[in-house]
Amino acid sequence: MKPIAIFRHTATEGPGYLATFLDERKIPWQLIAIDAGAAVPSSASAYSGLVFMGGPMSVNDDLPWIAKVEALIRDAVAQDIPLLGHCLGGQLISKALGGVVSRNPVKEIGWGEVQVTDNDIARNWFGEIQKFQAFHWHGETFALPQGATHLLSSVYCVNQAYAIGKHLALQCHIEMTAEMIATWCSVGADEVAASRSSPAVQPVSEIQRQVNDKLPRMNSVANQIYSRWIKNLSA
């Protein structure tokens, strides 16, 4: 089986729980560390799927790798190779496929409930799950590209996830581990403090207090979503 390519855009936002999920199922994957200078492949043909993780930058920034990633995303769609995007990764998929990425009405940081949309495609992805506590850390949001079906929303961000066939884009973070959350709370403490006027931003202490309660359930949701996504991996 060809490996899954997982694109990392900053050192603190790696595959997290997704790596655990794939390793437990002996599904091969390869990290492509854009933050460490790794080249963006010109074709998706060497991979069974492409996964794009998060990052503090905007997809609208003038960064040399963004256009290359967008071209790769379009190439994967053309070759019917499944895409999976987390936060920035979901925004990259949207932008590559003609959607607009813009500022969300408020910044969203910490734990927050997301609702599964009432449609057949959402039920196919989420099964019996109707809502869950997701992890958030974003100031921008994506519009749905042409042909996308809405899957998730929150009170503070309408577009939390969508699917286009076998491709899935998420605004929220389902890939978190306790270690990642602790790291983000440390390196992002100043951002949290500066954003405290937002009703969707939790203090660092509250984010960390809820980890033991919220994380196991989110890992279970991730299992459901990732299990559905890997069904369509290319041979």
pTM equals 0.98
Domain-located, residue 235 = no
Domain-located, residue 180 = yes
Count of domains observed in the chain: 1
Pairing of strands 167-170, 161-164: antiparallel
Domain-located, residue 172 = yes
- Which structural domain, as residue segments, surrounds residue 18? 4-230
What single letter denotes the amino acid at residue 38?
A
Q: Does residue 117 sit in helix, strand or coil?
A: coil
Residue 1: pLDDT band (50, 70, 90) is: very high
For the chain, give the percent of residues with pLDDT over 90.
99
The answer on pLDDT for 235 being more than 90 is no
Copy the structure tokens of residue 104. 């969300």
Smallest CA-to-CA distance from 157 within 191, 119, 118, 107 is with 107
Each residue's pLDDT tens digit, 153-179: 999 999 999 999 999 999 999 999 999
Domain-located, residue 206 = yes
DSSP codes joined into one string, 145-201? PTT-EEEEE-SS-S-SEEEETTEEEESSB----HHHHHHHHHHTHHHHHHTTTSTTB
Mean pLDDT, range 66-87, rounded to an integer: 98
Domain-located, residue 73 = yes
Per-residue pLDDT, 232: 96
Question: What is the CATH classification number for the domain harbouring 134?
Answer: 3.40.50.880
Copy the structure tokens of residue 65. 């790798």
| Other residues' Cβ atoms within 10 Å of the Cβ of residue 46 | 11
Per-residue pLDDT, 166: 98
Mean pLDDT, range 76-100, rounded to an integer: 98
Mean pLDDT, range 76-91, rounded to an integer: 98
Each residue's pLDDT tens digit, 102-147: 999 999 999 999 999 999 999 999 999 999 999 999 999 999 999 9
The answer on pLDDT for 234 being more than 90 is no
